[in-house]
Amino acid sequence: MKKYLLYTMLFIIPIWIVLLGADDSLSHRIRCANSSFSQPLYDMYNVTDSFDILICGNSRASVQYNPFILDSILECNSYNLGYDGCAVNIQLVKYEQWCKHHSNPKYIIYNIDLWTMNETRGNNREQIFPYFTMDRNLMKNMDIYHDYTIAEKFIPFSRYIGHKNMIEDILVDSISFYKGYYGCDWEWQHANVRHNQDLYKCACDSNMIELFCNFIEKQQSKNTKILFVYAPMFHTILQNSPDIQKMYDMYGNIANQYNISILDYNTEIMCQDSTLFYNKMHLNQTGAELFTTKLAHNIDSIGFLKK
């Protein structure tokens, strides 16, 4: 029996070492890739600056808030922490993880919308793969919502099996990425014109609202100021969503409870102009620059950055 176990170990150990080496090599390549998949987490571990302002939210944050413009107008140092395809639960995991590696911000600009108070489960779960061995704490916190398998968590390289096409796309992708922001220089996607009332419903998961309120209380206890922003949506969403007033009521109540100011850009003339959007939920690069400029001047005028 002992001889059998010895032979088994002698067989497994070399394979394990090879898998560890392959895992480490591929994970490093993916982390360093200049792609929209890799870059949102890369800076967490490689940027050493302290930032006055963090911008939080989903893809409507990451592709619409340009830190270069904010920094230029407000004379601050901002970073866009937006997380594509993820609602508040994953956004806050990323925020907490960021603050473990950087100082707490003085200010948070939080993009709020119809989709924020949802619970993301499984979406973009592969984005954490390159950090499994590098940051077990990140993996454990994301595992609460992404349900990684035993093999994915503990057998080297196994989590990459079956993702060949995804890996190839990541390694050849190239984006213009600046402090968490990447502008999308795309034209209006005509296939996105049809109305989708299910997509335009307001997420209002009670557990996520409680999670969000706990986050606000924690940040305010650290003297971090928070600003809510409704970034522009194309006007047909407001016209066809069954829940616009529900959205305004929900965030209005939270803002009143915690004395948080709200800036609303859903009534701006830009919401009528499809040349500033690539779909109804997202501004293109031109629209994002116009919006961020308006936002920066409004932030300055309301004195948000003044203690």
CATH of residue 211's domain is: 3.40.50.1110
- Classify residue 204: in a domain, yes or no: yes
Over 70: is that where the pLDDT of 191 sits? Answer: no
In a domain, 184, yes or no: yes
pLDDT tens string 171-187: 988 888 899 999 988 88
For every residue of 237-288, which 3-state class applies, written as one string?
Answer: HHHHCCCHHHHHHHHHHHHHHHCCEEEECCCCHHHHCHHHEEECCEECHHHH
Q: Taking 90 as the threshold, does the pLDDT of residue 5 lie above it?
A: no
Task: Give residue-wise pLDDT tens across range 238-251.
Answer: 988 999 999 999 99
Contact 275, 269 (CB under 8 A): no
For the chain, the average pLDDT equals 92
CA atoms within 13 A on the CB side of 48: 0
Q: Which domain holds residue 252?
A: 2-302
Question: What mean pLDDT is predicted for residues 280-307?
Answer: 95
Check whether 193 has a pLDDT greater than 60: no
Looking at the domain assignment, is residue 206 inside a domain?
A: yes
CA–chain centroid gap for 292, Å, is 18
Instruction: Please tell me the predicted confidence (pLDDT) of residue 160.
Output: 96
Write the Ramachandran bin of 64: left for phi over 0, alpha for psi from -120 to 50, otherwise beta.
alpha
* pLDDT-derived band at 195, boundaries 50, 70, 90: low
| pLDDT recorded at residue 139 | 95
pLDDT tens figures, 35-70: 888 888 999 999 988 899 999 999 999 999 999 999
The rounded distance, in Å, linking the Cα atoms of 287 and 293 is 10
Has this prediction a pTM greater than 0.85? yes
The answer to the question of residue 307 being in a domain is no
Q: In the prediction, which pLDDT does 145 show?
A: 95
Looking at the DSSP bridge assignments, the partners of residue 53 are: 78, 107
Residue 28 lies in a domain: yes
Q: Which helix (H) or strand (E) holds 227?
A: strand 225-230
- Assess whether pLDDT exceeds 60 at residue 194: no
Q: Average pLDDT, stretch 193-216?
A: 87
Residue 307 pLDDT grade (very low, low, confident, very high; cuts 50, 70, 90)? low
pLDDT band at 95 (very low <50, low <70, confident <90, very high): very high
Task: Give the helix/strand (H/E) hosting 108.
Answer: strand 107-111
Q: What percent of the chain has pLDDT above 90?
A: 78
The torsion defined by the Cα of 102, 106, 109 and 112, in degrees rounded to 10, comes to: 80
**What average pLDDT score do residues 19-23 get?**
92
Total number of domains constituting the chain: 1
